[in-house]
């Protein structure tokens, strides 16, 4: 099945026809436009700060003026009412243009895994048609329109290669698209949640999915608040000049009744750290000398 459909090589610099193209003639790929993916305000701002240098690199387009690379620059040119843009034109079909678009745009360019898979699924009929043609040529299909399980998996694997994801994501996104609440799909599109989370929710009712999404957002907001509070506290106080083993030695000297009233909480924070409240720190400083205990521990 390796010759079922050979993926085109990524565009090479200097290949294609350079030309000046009117900004109003350029249009995004229909599959891309349907998803409503837009460059972030931050990215547009960074481009705008570069002035004319932002438009030195040519946009990549097809002979039908379908935009393959340079979407943010094109949007900025529209906002600035620029009449023409430097482009490189290629003789690609819409399917080939979509493959090149996916090859050229990483997740960091605003195309998260879900968006990439949804775009790639637009190519599934093409791969299935070529697979049927291969089977018919080999005498395997015998008039049936159904593909064998092995060929279906091969199609799935090739789609996963284009999307740059694990093959299981192809099946999971297809299920999510069929059964997920629109709000969950929007959260996927924006990158708020990941494919696996939406897939785990997808068998539940829409009401339950909304409940899960709201619970996820609430927990995320709480974690964000905790991180901000910790960050604010860190900015005001320097780290203690005290090793963790020394602190444990000091705590072990406290009376049992005093230790019983000390609360402990787990905080999801990067790194290996211990946090201590001001009240407990003051109690320890009143009862012990950190220096003497540290010396004793050494």
DSSP string, 106-163: -GGGT--HHHHHHHHGGGHHHHHHHHHHHHHHTT-STT--PPPHHHHHHHHHHHHHHH
Residue 61 pLDDT:
95
Does residue 9 surpass a pLDDT of 50? yes
- pTM, two decimals, is 0.68
Residue 1 pLDDT:
42
Residue 60 pLDDT:
94
Helices 94-104, 149-163: axis angle to 10 degrees equals: 60
Does residue 18 surpass a pLDDT of 90? yes
- Extents of the domains making up the chain: 17-165, 184-236, 244-297
1-5, 93-97, 290-294 — which one is most confidently predicted on average? 93-97
Does residue 119 surpass a pLDDT of 60? yes
Does residue 81 surpass a pLDDT of 70? yes
Q: Which residues pair with 88 in a beta bridge?
A: 18, 60
Least-confidence region, from 2-11, 85-94, 192-201, 218-227: 2-11
Helices 167-179, 182-189: axis angle to 10 degrees equals: 140
Across the chain, which distance is largest between two alpha carbons, in Å?
89
Residue pLDDT, tens place only, 247-297: 777 777 777 666 776 777 776 666 677 777 777 777 777 666 554 544 444
Residue pLDDT, tens place only, 50-60: 999 999 999 99
Strand ranges (E), the chain: 17-22, 27-28, 59-62, 66-69, 84-90
Provide mean pLDDT across the span 113-122: 94
Q: Residue 41, class by beta-carbon neighbours within 10 Å (0-12 exposed, 13-18 middle, 19+ buried)? A: exposed
Mean pLDDT of the residues in the chain: 82
21-35, 107-121, 242-256 — which one is most confidently predicted on average? 21-35
Stated as kind and residue range, the H or E segment containing 248 is helix 244-252
Share of the chain above pLDDT 90, in %: 45
Residue pLDDT, tens place only, 190-249: 899 999 999 999 999 999 999 999 999 998 888 888 877 777 665 455 556 667 777 777
CATH topology of domain 17-165: 3.90.1530
Residue 297 pLDDT:
45
Share of the chain above pLDDT 70, in %: 79
């Amino acid at each position: 099945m390796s010759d079922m459909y050979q993926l085109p090589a990524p565009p090479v610099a200097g290949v294609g026809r350079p030309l000046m193209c009117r900004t109003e003639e350029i249009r995004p790929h229909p599959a891309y436009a349907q998803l409503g993916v837009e460059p972030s305000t931050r990215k547009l701002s960074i481009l705008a700060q570069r002035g004319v240098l932002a438009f030195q690199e040519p946009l990549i387009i097809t002979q039908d003026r379908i935009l393959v690379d340079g979407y943010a620059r094109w949007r900025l040119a529209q906002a600035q009412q620029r009449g023409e843009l430097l482009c490189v034109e290629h003789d690609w079909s819409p399917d080939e243009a979509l493959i090149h678009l996916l090859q050229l745009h990483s997740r960091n360019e605003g195309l998260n895994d879900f968006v990439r898979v949804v775009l790639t699924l637009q190519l599934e009929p093409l791969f299935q048609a070529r697979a049927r043609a291969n089977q018919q040529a080999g005498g395997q299909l015998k008039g049936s329109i159904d593909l064998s399980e092995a060929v279906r998996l091969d199609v799935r694997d090739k789609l996963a290669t284009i999307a740059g994801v694990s093959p299981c994501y192809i099946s999971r996104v297809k299920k999510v698209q069929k059964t997920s609440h629109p709000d969950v799909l929007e959260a996927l599109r924006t990158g708020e949640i990941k494919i696996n989370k939406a897939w785990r929710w997808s068998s539940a009712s829409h009401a339950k999915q909304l409940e899960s999404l709201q619970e996820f957002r609430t927990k995320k907001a709480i974690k964000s608040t905790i991180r901000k509070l910790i960050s604010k506290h860190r900015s005001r106080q320097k780290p203690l000049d005290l090793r963790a083993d020394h602190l444990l030695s000091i705590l072990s000297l406290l009376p049992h009744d005093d230790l019983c009233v000390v609360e402990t909480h787990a905080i999801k924070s990067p790194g290996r750290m211990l946090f201590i409240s001001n009240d407990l720190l003051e109690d320890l400083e009143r009862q012990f000398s950190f220096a003497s205990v540290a010396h004793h521990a050494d």
